[in-house]
Amino acid sequence: MKLVSSMENFNPAQFFLHLSAVLVLVGLHLVPVSTANQQVTPSIKTDAVSLLNFKKMIDKDPNGVLSGWKLGTSPCSWYGVTCSMNRATQLDLTSCSLVGTISFEPLAFLDMLSVLNLPSNKFSVNATSLLQLPYALKQLDLSFNALFGVLPEGVSSKCPNLVSVNLAFNNLTGPPPKDLLLHSDKLQTLDISYNNLTGSISGLIIEKYSCPSLLQLDLSGNRITGSIPMSLANCTSLKTMSLSTNNVTGEIPRSFGQLRSLQRLDLSHNQITGWMPPELGNACGSLAELKLSFNNITGPIPASFSSCSLLEALDLSNNNLTGPLPDSIFQNLTSLQSLVLRNNIITGSLPGSISACRSLQVIDLSSNKISGVIPPDICPGASSLEELRMPDNLIVGEIPAQLSQCSQLKTIDFSLNYLNGSIPAELGKLENLQQLIAWYNGLEGKIPPDLGKCKSLKDIILNNNHLSGEIPVELFSCSNLEWISLTSNKLSGEVPREFGLLTRLAVLQLGNNSLSGKIPGELGNCSSLVWLDLNSNKLTGEIPPRLGRQTGAKALSGILSGNTLVFVRNVGNSCKGVGGLLEFAGIRPERLQQDPTLRTCDFARLYSGPVLSLFTKYQTLEYLDLSYNQLRGKIPEEMGDMIALQVLELSHNQLSGEIPASLGQLKDLGVFDASHNRLQGHIPDSLENLSFLVQIDLSNNELTGEIPSRGQLSTLPATQYANNPGLCGVPLPDCQSSNNQPDTTPSDQDEGKRSRRPSVASWANSIVVGVLISLASVCVLVVWAIAMRTRRKEAKEVKMLNRLQASHAAWKIDKEKEPLSINVATFQRQLRKLKFSQLIEATNGFSADSLIGCGGFGEVFKATLKDGSSVAIKKLIRLSCQGDREFMAEMETLGKIKHRNLVPLLGYCKIGEERLLVYEFMEYGSLEEMLHGRTKTRDRRMLTWEERKKIARGAAKGLCFLHHNCIPHIIHRDMKSSNVLLDSELEARVSDFGMARLISALDTHLSVSTLAGTPGYVPPEYYQSFRCTAKGDVYSFGVVLLELVTGKRPTDKDDFGDTNLVGWAKMKVREGKQMEVIDQELLSVSKGTDEAEAEEVKEMVRYLEVTLQCVDDFPSKRPNMLQVVAMLRQLISGSACGSSNSA
């Protein structure tokens, strides 16, 4: 019955197809490929065999799209296969997440295949395999894969029917093949963008009729050099050409004027020089988009561009264009939608003919030298205008009221100009207006209440003008307001309570005005408020406790997105307040230094970025400045609930009462200034918990009692506690005992009770005299010997000091009477008797020959002691505010920290104004020297992968110990490869831990940016906050890991351009180019078998994954160091960071 049933279901056609395929497979395995081609007639059966052979090379098919590719079924029914006339003609496996190392050899038998689309997979393909593509192929798309190697010559001749080729976003290297556009009669589209092509483009062979059909050429996003060949104009049908983001040099070829069909030309982000060729205007008959930004183009804009009647987008920004804007240009550009000319040297006035550009949506003339007035008739001609940006120019006059006719206007930016007059009330007619920015001008008069009609308004940034009057309450009907900056004007009246209605308000800056009255408690209703600056006004009353009860938004929901923020922090006392935020889009950074009105304040530009407060968990106040007012009463206890607060500035008020103990809950607080008030009582012990404090000032109050000895309070300079008569303890004088005993003097009775000794016999006197003479003679001899020894010693000291003073570094030790005899305080017995004079001898007078390093905290010298041992001596930078107690207290703390992956502090010495630290000498120097080839100790050699892993684990364990096992925990603040030293066994030792905290404790004149790390290693959040964190150290350690994996420096303009190592690595990983990130020296060293080498490469990729976790932009997503050590241990077995105190 079973046999009968089987026979009933028997399908002869299917059976013979199956049998034929099997026979073909056997035949193909028994004979060479060339023979098979001769003996097997191409058919749907051979197509099936070829496709199945291609399938064999695919390692992973997570979506199972190829599960139906089986013998016994027609290939025409397989996923991705399209047939015509019973032959496979198309293979489309777009975005199937397929993984494998493939070649195109099996597909060579598909002689009817015309379309091959494999984009957005994870195929690893050697570029030489392109020569195996089938002859009939017309369309090829391999974009977003891992195509690697050098593009071979001859592809166009092997596949002469190609019409479209897309190899974008791969790992292609080497120069473009010379015959890239030769024998390409039918080729219409060629896209090789965003690979790693190098070499010169000048060598391309492009004959007169070699590319007659080419419509689109895209070589952008590579590293191509050389000048653009004039022969590119032979591709006369070109409509789109992009060579952007390369290293192309030379001038724009004049022959481009022959490209009469050209619609889009993008040569931006190169190194093109020279003038814009006037001939380019001849190609303007069809040109719609011209982008030449970020080059070095000079000269004026050619008047011939007036013929570009179809031009829609013109971007010539970030060049060195000069001269005025030709009036004739704009008369014919009726299709122009975007005009971007920022960051040039364009002079003259904005021509009135710009009103003829009726389609204009964007005008960006930021950072030029444009003068004159704003054309009043710019609208209604440009009624579609949405953005009008003209900051950082020389514009004078008033803001024209006629701007109200630009009904679509969303952004007005006239910052850093010389505008005067009042803000026209007519601007209230702009219902779509979102940003009104005009800071640093001479605007005067009142803020027009009509602005309250702009319901879409988000930003009002009018600081540093001469605006007067009260803040109009009509503004508060603009419920979308996010940023209000009216600092440094002449505003009066009270702070309106209606601010509490603005739930999206994030930044409110009203400092340096004449506002009076009380601070409205309704500000606590602004749930998105993270920045409140009311400094330097005439505010009275108490600080409202409701500010501390601000609930905070769950998320900022895009608030301030699109803004370019710069935080200018005041340094010293030249300006009041901590600083302020500026909208800095399109403005050259150096303008801050050039403007005379800005130079009155000493400042440090600490943060520049697109979004504020990315890192606050609760979205509550981070910055509160109420200084220089007339506030009274107590500091509210509720301020301890402002858990995100980083800056609390309350100085120069009349506050009284005690400092609330609840402030100890502000774990993120970095700056606390309550100086010049009437605060009383003790400094609460809870402030010892503020481990992120970098600046505190409680001077000029009425505080009493002892300064808390734990935490950072006792390590700060005495000036921060000055003029508090009842305050004592480190760093102030010690607290005196209150139980002093009265002085006692001997009484007369005591004198009377002294017994008198009987006189001695006269003969005894003679003996005594003789003895005294003998003793005197001996003393004279001893004194003479001592004098001679002292004289020799002094001569030697003078010689040593002269040699020291003659060294390359200046020494300030003149005030010391006996500098060379000063002992070095040590933490190890073998160094107990070490003196400063021995350090001079051991370093040959601290000569340049003994200098082995120079960092942010001082110079490092190698000292060879008399017993032959070597130590490293760090001479700290000289500080402007000396604090001996703070220095010694910090040294005693650091000297007790011992771990096998930390560089131990052996001793320290203070002499005059100099401070010296003695460390164990590390044989192999720093990791930076070993990686980047500057080591003096040994000839540079390449670190093997095993050595790099060992260094990574050791450095991780050292940093982990500082974070999790030291009490109190230590944040390094400057983790970098030069602070990872290597001993004689290449064991990593973390150095300079505690240095940033020591320097900040001793010198308050250094800015936070000085103490928060080294460029390239600084985490993004440090640029906007005042605090250093353990997660910041993790980021910096991640950069060190990235150096180990890539072999590259953190910052290198040649490699990364305007970004850095982290940004470059992330970009490459996003593009699927992990192998390009890994150090090529490591990849070139074979470990033995192919399997072992492949396993080692996989291990490198896994290390890269750990690294990218460490350098995540968001601190909350980074692992802590315990987790980092665990992850490294999982990759290669090793011990985690322990709490061992053994050195």
Which tokens go with 182? 């030769």
Residues belonging to the binding site for ATP are 875
Question: What CA–CA distances, in Å, run from 721 to 624, 725, 880?
Answer: 22, 10, 17
End-to-end Cα spacing for the chain? 84
CB count within 10 Å of CB 591 equals 16
Q: Which long-range contacts (CB under 8 A, 24 or more apart) does 29-33 make?
A: 33/105
Whether 1038 contacts 701, CB under 8 Å: no
> What residue type is assigned to position 957 of the chain?
K
Q: Where are the beta strands (DSSP E) in 548-692?
A: 565-570, 579-583, 603-609, 623-625, 647-649, 656-658, 671-673, 678-681
Q: How far apart are CA 7 and CA 145, in angstroms?
A: 48
Tell me the two tokens of residue 244: 């952007």
Alpha carbons 774 and 788: distance in angstroms, whole number: 21
Identity (one letter) of the amino acid at 252? I
Instruction: Write out the DSSP string of 479-517.
Output: TT--EEE--SSEE-SB--GGGGG-TT--EEE--SS--EE
Task: Evaluate whether 92 touches 80 at the Cβ level (below 8 Å).
Answer: yes
One-letter amino acid of 833 = K
- Tell me the three-class secondary structure of 750-818, residue by residue: HHHHCCCCCCCCHHHHHHHHHHHHHHHHHHHHHHHHHHHHHHHHHHHHHHHHHHHHCCCCCCCCCCCCC
Q: In what side-by-side order are the strands of the sheet with 702-706?
A: 656-658, 678-681, 702-706, 726-728
Asked if 906 and 964 touch (Cβ cutoff 8 Å), the reply is no
Is 497 exposed, middle or buried (CB count within 10 Å of its CB: 0-12, 13-18, 19+)?
A: middle
831 exposure class (CB count in 10 Å sphere: 0-12, 13-18, 19+): middle
Are the C-beta atoms of 313 and 288 separated by less than 8 Å? yes
Task: Return the structure tokens found at 181.
Answer: 């556009």
In this structure, what token pair is assigned to residue 274?
Answer: 């020279």
Handedness of CA 247, 249, 255, 260 (dihedral sign): positive
**Cα(92)–Cα(66) distance, rounded to whole angstroms?**
12
980, 998, 970: which is closest to 910 by C-alpha?
998
Q: How many CB atoms lie within 10 A of CB 157?
A: 12
Residues 6+ apart with CB under 8 A from 667: 643, 689, 690, 691, 692
Residues that are catalytic: 974
Report CA-CA distances (Å) from 1010 to 195, 240, 578, 1022. 38, 48, 17, 11
Size of the chain in residues: 1143
Contact yes or no for 34/10 (Cβ under 8 A): no
- Beta-carbon count within 10 A of 4 CB: 7
To which residue do tokens 């073998």 refer? 830
Output the furthest CA–CA distance in the chain (Å, rounded): 155
Q: Nearest CA to 561 among 500, 620, 617, 506?
A: 506
- Which residue type does 825 have? A
State yes or no: cis peptide before 400, omega within 30 of 0.
no
1091 Cβ contact partners less than 8 Å away, ≥ 6 residues apart: none
Enclosing H/E stretch for 1068? helix 1061-1070
